[in-house]
Amino acid sequence: MLEALGERLGAIFARLGSRGRLTEADVNDVAREVRVALLEADVNLAVAKEFVNAVKERAVGADVLASLTPAQSVIKIVYDELVALMGGAEARLQFSDAPPTVIMLVGLQGSGKTTHAGKLALRLKEQGRRSLLVAADVYRPAAIAQLQTLGKQIDVPVFTDASNDPVAIAKRGTDEARRLGIATVIVDTAGRLQIDEQLMIELERIKAATAPKEVLFVADAMTGQEATNVAKGFDARLGITGVILTKMDGDARGGAALSIFRTTGAPIKFVGTGEKLSALEPFHPDRLASRILGMGDVLTLIEKTQGLYSVEAAAELEAKFRKNEFTLDDFLAQLRQVRKMGSMTDILKMIPGMSKALPKEFEIPEKDVNRVEAIICSMTRLERRRPEVLNASRRRRIARGSGTQVADVNRLVKQFEDARKMMKQFGGKKFRLPPMPGAAVR
């Protein structure tokens, strides 16, 4: 997502870097190319024009034209304007002073409302907030059953009602949450293939009956600029307070992420980054701007890491590194932990400069990771602790057991030994996970 835009902008800035000074004509050329890049990324025409004018106005200032590093100055301006374009700062959920806080999810059919109702409930649960999911979509076949299944998976109650009236269901669900002392109500509403008057009237009645603190528009990022147009329609009738952008891990061009705030005034609050129920992340405009410009996303990487490692686990791992006691069992455990963070390729691209250093089509296939896991799982406990005992016959047995070749086993063992030697060289150095300001330690 947005990789093509990043590549286009990177090529533009690379050409700027070869110039000693910038002229106003150079700035105009850059502005024109940036505008084309944005339009190719499916950014709304009016938004692209406004963005380019803002960059151009700042870039023709005396400080930039006289700068000894004009490319870096322009990159900084583009970064600042990208952040502003997407809302400026993280927009958090708002909660009512008197519970329950009602969160109403709206959007077209197929945008992922039901799934993201479950994802949002899980995220709130992990933060210590109890939620009640309310199944108010009585039209889509199996919508209620789907929400009930999600509720069981994350151990969150789901309110259903025999009534076919979505307004009554939403109201009774809210009353039930108040009676049970549940802090948050998430209302899953119906959608249509397109906006129609009947749907909007129903949603307006649900809003009037439940007085939601948040009306979140769930938008499919794969629909590109059309998601922006639909968001405007929902905002005009319901006054949406935020956006959940789904399928951000897909191959859409990214125009919705760059257009939706400027056209509706509603900030993106969350992005769906995968199929797992845990794959919901808060939206940080500054971090996405960094990734678009190839600067990496270290803060998100740190947060993902801290979600998996406690201080005690990190200290234990550090001790093993220093004493050269890191085994294949430990390596397998770390591999499984890292896989919880998402795609290996995506993780690497969060490291500053790595997205430019990696080949364009770079990908770590999931089957390669599975192969490594299968090889280690085919070893005995002794072989995992002491790889030096792996003679030819043992390696042939492991290859047969894992469905791989002896060469694959040899390669893994060599890479592990090389890594262990490198760890030993760093034995006197401290291994620490960087702390996040205000982050809770698990």
Looking at the fold, whether 158 and 280 belong to one and the same domain comes out as: yes
* pLDDT attached to residue 276: 85
Looking at the fold, whether 160 and 21 belong to one and the same domain comes out as: no
* DSSP element (H, E) containing 242: strand 242-246
Q: Tell me if 408 is assigned to some domain.
A: yes
Which tokens sit at 365?
Answer: 């296939």
Which tokens sit at 224?
Answer: 């590109």
* pLDDT attached to residue 242: 92
* pLDDT attached to residue 54: 87
In which residue ranges of the chain is pLDDT below 50?
297, 357, 361-362, 428-442
* pLDDT attached to residue 442: 33
Q: Tell me if 9 is assigned to some domain.
A: yes
**How distant is the alpha carbon of residue 342 from its chain centre?**
10
Final residue belonging to a domain, choices 244, 275, 294: 294
* pLDDT attached to residue 436: 37
Number of independent structural domains in the chain:
3
Looking at the fold, whether 307 and 281 belong to one and the same domain comes out as: no
Task: Quickly count helices (H) and strands (E) in the chain.
Answer: 21, 8
- Structural contact between residues 221 and 167, judged by C-beta atoms closer than 8 angstroms: no
* pLDDT attached to residue 306: 54
At 187, is the secondary structure helix, strand, or coil?
strand
- Structural contact between residues 383 and 375, judged by C-beta atoms closer than 8 angstroms: no
- Structural contact between residues 191 and 234, judged by C-beta atoms closer than 8 angstroms: no
* DSSP element (H, E) containing 184: strand 184-188
* pLDDT attached to residue 170: 95
* pLDDT attached to residue 392: 93
Q: Tell me if 433 is assigned to some domain.
A: no
* pLDDT attached to residue 255: 72
Final residue belonging to a domain, choices 255, 273, 294: 294
Looking at the fold, whether 250 and 398 belong to one and the same domain comes out as: no
Domain that holds residue 316: 303-425
Looking at the fold, whether 321 and 338 belong to one and the same domain comes out as: yes
